[in-house]
């Protein structure tokens, strides 16, 4: 990194520190003030709160924004994958799916209150949300205290979900404490595994020893942990372990060029804004597309103008979309090869022409190759191919290259 780039990077970091100061509420503090009631808090931080409630529909018309969590969770529906709505139904429809309470563990800080009342019994698929439980939440999803605590008369940045609580999940909390607060408040939910083993319920000892990062944050470490906790389904036709991360944005960001510059999630996803009165604040519309945000694109120019000769916001947007498309195209090629590999394994299982040890190695190669492809998408339920390339372009490209190599090696075993 040359001297000019270092200076620009330092400027970005300084600007991001200022942004976090705004996000934590310094501009609206009441020195020495007692913690207000929640309805008073969202008035005190009106701009931040209102921007957090902005809805966003994708190209298919689906709204997966933080603001739509209430509708996603409280609408009577047939569901897949826990909470994903397959179709809406009447409230008394026997096919209506109940929502396990643990599904709220990374969607509202009020889950912590449920834990205080019920203890470890709050985990487990048999303990489901009732109409009364939802009414008590009063729509407080992605709430202020998910990412902040009240100190010194104002809000300060602090991961607040149950998995960040050292008394309950000390090892998980220790890792979250090892990254920047700006990463931790997002990463307490946007990670690959926390909550994956909650459906069976927790004992206190299991919670104390819950440590998804015990093998590291690289793909091998994530895969090993998920296999260890049974975080996979088994393909009926082949016996292949279908292992998939939830949404490993936190893990993918580790070791990235942007992390090395001191940047974090909020620097791109929560930008400075100005209200109608001219007051500045940090937008909490964290579900919005960075590519559609002129403020975010402009901040990228601070480095990319020097590194890549990009001069305008539109040029920066084009630079990003080109790399997203390149990653998506590469993924499509690998997926096509992966499908051929699966068929070769299925044929070998059916006709018995490959010895057991070689066949098992091919299955393991396929399993990890598939995990690499799905992992670099970084979104289990609503992936958009290539969209998250900016999180860690080197890692994402490497994962597809490694997956392709595994496919080629595996085809030699069973092809």
In tens, the pLDDT along 15-31 reads 443 344 444 444 444 44
Q: Rounded CA gap, 44 and 49, in Å?
A: 9
CA 22, chain centre distance (Å):
23
In tens, the pLDDT along 292-329 reads 899 999 999 989 988 888 999 999 999 999 999 999 99
What pLDDT score does 22 carry? 43
Q: Which of 65, 69, 152 lies closest to 109 in space, CA to CA?
A: 69
What pLDDT score does 63 carry? 87
What pLDDT score does 406 carry? 98
Percent of the chain as helix, strand, coil, to the nearest 5? 55, 10, 40
* Mean pLDDT to the nearest integer, 338-363: 97
Least confident among 85-99, 169-183, 197-211, 224-238: 197-211
Q: Is the four-CA dihedral 249, 254, 259, 263 of positive or negative sign?
A: positive
Q: Which of 132, 143, 243, 238 lies closest to 189 in space, CA to CA?
A: 143
In tens, the pLDDT along 240-254 reads 999 989 899 999 999
What pLDDT score does 199 carry? 58
Tokens of 204: 């206190």
Q: CA separation (Å) from 158 to 64, 164, 311?
A: 24, 9, 36
Q: Rounded CA gap, 182 and 263, in Å?
A: 9
Q: What is the mean pLDDT of the chain?
A: 89
Tokens of 11: 């400027």
In tens, the pLDDT along 119-165 reads 999 988 789 999 999 999 999 999 999 999 999 999 999 999 999 99
What pLDDT score does 47 carry? 97
Q: Is the CB of residue 342 less than 8 Å from the CB of residue 383?
A: no
pTM recorded for the entire structure: 0.89
pLDDT confidence band for 198 (50 / 70 / 90): low
What's the DSSP call for residue 363?
Answer: H
* Mean pLDDT to the nearest integer, 189-206: 82
- Type and span of the H or E element at 153: none
- Type and span of the H or E element at 152: none
Q: Rounded CA gap, 112 and 163, in Å?
A: 10
What pLDDT score does 321 carry? 95
pLDDT confidence band for 200 (50 / 70 / 90): low
Instruction: Centre a 10 Å sphere on the Cβ of residue 259 and count the other Cβ atoms it contains.
Output: 16
What's the DSSP call for residue 97?
Answer: P
What pLDDT score does 395 carry? 97
Whether 362 shows a pLDDT value over 80: the answer reads: yes
Percentage with pLDDT > 70 across the chain: 91
Whether 94 shows a pLDDT value over 60: the answer reads: yes
In tens, the pLDDT along 62-82 reads 888 999 999 999 999 999 867
What pLDDT score does 288 carry? 86
Helical pair 393-414 and 356-377, crossing angle rounded to 10 deg: 160
First to last CA, the chain: 46
SS3 126: coil
What pLDDT score does 60 carry? 76
Whether 5 shows a pLDDT value over 70: the answer reads: no
In tens, the pLDDT along 32-66 reads 578 999 999 999 999 999 999 999 887 777 888 99
Q: Which of 108, 65, 22 lies closest to 288 in space, CA to CA?
A: 65
Instruction: Centre a 10 Å sphere on the Cβ of residue 156 and count the other Cβ atoms it contains.
Output: 18
């Amino acid at each position: 990194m040359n001297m000019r780039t270092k200076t620009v990077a330092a400027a970005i970091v300084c600007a991001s520190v200022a942004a976090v100061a705004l996000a934590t509420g310094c501009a609206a503090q009441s020195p020495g003030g007692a913690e207000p009631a929640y309805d008073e808090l969202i008035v005190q931080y009106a701009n931040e709160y209102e921007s957090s409630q902005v809805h966003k529909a994708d190209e298919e018309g689906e709204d997966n924004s933080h603001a739509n969590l209430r509708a996603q969770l409280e609408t009577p529906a047939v569901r897949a994958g826990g909470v994903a709505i397959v179709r809406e139904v009447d409230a008394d429809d026997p096919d209506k799916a109940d929502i396990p309470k643990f599904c709220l563990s990374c969607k509202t800080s009020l889950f912590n209150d449920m834990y205080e009342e019920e203890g470890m019994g709050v985990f487990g698929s048999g303990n489901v949300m009732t109409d009364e439980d939802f009414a008590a939440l009063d729509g407080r999803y992605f709430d202020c205290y998910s990412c902040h605590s009240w100190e010194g008369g104002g809000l300060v940045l602090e991961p607040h979900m149950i998995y960040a609580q050292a008394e309950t999940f000390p090892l998980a909390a220790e890792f979250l404490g090892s990254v920047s607060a700006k990463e931790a408040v997002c990463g307490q939910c946007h990670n690959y595994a926390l909550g994956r083993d909650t459906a069976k319920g927790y004992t206190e000892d299991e919670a104390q020893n819950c440590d998804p990062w015990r093998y590291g944050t690289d793909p091998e470490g994530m895969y090993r942990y998920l296999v260890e906790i049974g975080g996979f389904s088994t393909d009926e036709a082949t016996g292949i372990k279908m292992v998939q991360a939830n949404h490993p944005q936190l893990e993918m960001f580790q070791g990235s060029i942007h992390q090395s510059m001191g940047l974090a999630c909020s620097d791109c996803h929560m930008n400075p804004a100005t209200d109608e009165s001219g007051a500045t604040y940090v937008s909490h519309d964290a579900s919005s597309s960075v590519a559609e945000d002129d403020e975010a694109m402009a901040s990228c120019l601070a480095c990319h103008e020097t590194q890549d000769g990009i001069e305008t916001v539109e040029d920066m947007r084009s630079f990003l979309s080109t790399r997203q498309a390149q990653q998506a195209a590469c993924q499509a090629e690998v997926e096509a090869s992966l499908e051929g590999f699966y068929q070769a394994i299925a044929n070998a299982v059916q006709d018995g022409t490959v010895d057991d040890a070689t066949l098992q190695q091919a299955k393991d190669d396929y399993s990890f190759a598939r995990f690499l492809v799905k992992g670099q998408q970084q979104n289990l339920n609503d992936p958009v191919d290539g969209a998250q390339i900016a999180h860690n372009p080197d890692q994402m490209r490497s994962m597809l290259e490694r997956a392709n190599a595994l496919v080629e090696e595996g085809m030699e075993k069973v092809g």
